[in-house]
A and B are shown apart, each in its own frame.
Chain A
Amino acid sequence: MATDLLESLQQQIVPAAGAATLSHGCLVFSLAPEELMPTVRRLKEEFGYDLFLDVTAVDWPADALRFEVVHHFASSRQALRVRLKTRVAAADPGVDSLAKLYGSAAFMERECHDMYGIAFRGNHDLRPILLYEGFTGHPLRKDYPKGREQPLVPYRN
């Protein structure tokens, strides 16, 4: 079952999405930003990937396409998870929001926006969710200084 699905996914999605690899039981696709929405829509509608697990990002400060936005999907029917990696440049770190396809994506995209500053186009509520109003910068970016504090309460001394 898993191998059938793997072949099917590779044949039907890989030609558009570039190289796919299998990593620890997870099928990994590397996408361009504009391929993300069509790929996710096909995963959901044709392959039964009905559970959106997480979105996070990886900061590669030396690379031209600095941020790698990583989406994970699972299915209640297929025993194979899917990971999508989308590279975006630091100048315009944006990908399309999946909130229209998966309601749970709205909160997770807010967290990713907090920590990495990824702009999710179509998600109109990117207020801080783990950080607080007034926090400047994105703490999980590699160039955020380790010791930089932004206290809300003035220190006593």
Chain B
Amino acid sequence: MGARTVPIVPAAPHGAKDGAFEYLTTRKDELVGWARKFSLFPYPFVTACCAMEFMAVSASPYDTDRFGAALPRFSPRQADLLMVVGTVTHKQAPVLLKVYEQMCEPKWVMAFGVCASSGGFYQNYAALPGIDRIIPVDVYIPGCPPRPEMVIDGIMQLQDKIARAQHPILTRTF
């Protein structure tokens, strides 16, 4: 009894072309960037009224699933996009910093709405005047709250940024 039941296909003669998709050439950063920009796993750090807009833009009429940014992960260890949705207070800032530090590289941060971007109309003892005071931000979405089109535009700009970026996967340079 032969143990092997898989048919053995003879290798194609060198140089033969049968129309199959045998190999392609690309730049490593373009390939990895292409993969990463369509597989964003957002962590929604949702604190305030922008949450309603976040739900609206996530739901079917606007549907961020089309951009691969659909499945919210509620553990920062599984997420690569930190969406800060709403006002962050000074009291809450250590929590935001800890969530950011718990995320694995590569990671990106989106400031969703004017409060997360700059503090908005809050200029007082309580509100953090923009999350970029404590963590780096990749894309800012203004508006109080932003229109869904603005959020989608923000996601697309972030995707462009990811596609253009260098993506070291083995060493610092490769």
Contact = CB atoms under 8 A, between A and B. Distances in A.
Interface stretch (A16-24, A35-43, A141-149): A141-149
B171 interface: no
B133 interface: yes
Contact of A144 (B125, B135, B136): B125
A156 B133 contact: yes
Interface residues of A, number: 16
A3 interface: no
A148 B125 contact: yes
A111 B133 CA distance: 28
B5 interface: no
A35 B99 CA distance: 50
A153 B93 CA distance: 6
Interface string B124-135: 111011001111
B91 interface: yes
Most chain A beta-carbon neighbours within 10 Å: one of B123, B125, B132, B134: B125
A148 B129 CA distance: 12
Interface string A85-119: 00000000000000000000000000000000000
Contacts of B124: 139, 146-147
Nearest to A137: B125
A155 B125 contact: no
Contacts of A151: 90, 93, 128, 133
A146 B121 CA distance: 13
Contacts of B126: 139
B125 A139 contact: yes
A153 B91 CA distance: 9
Interface of B: 90-91, 93-94, 97, 123-126, 128-129, 132-136
Interface of A: 130-132, 139, 144, 146-156
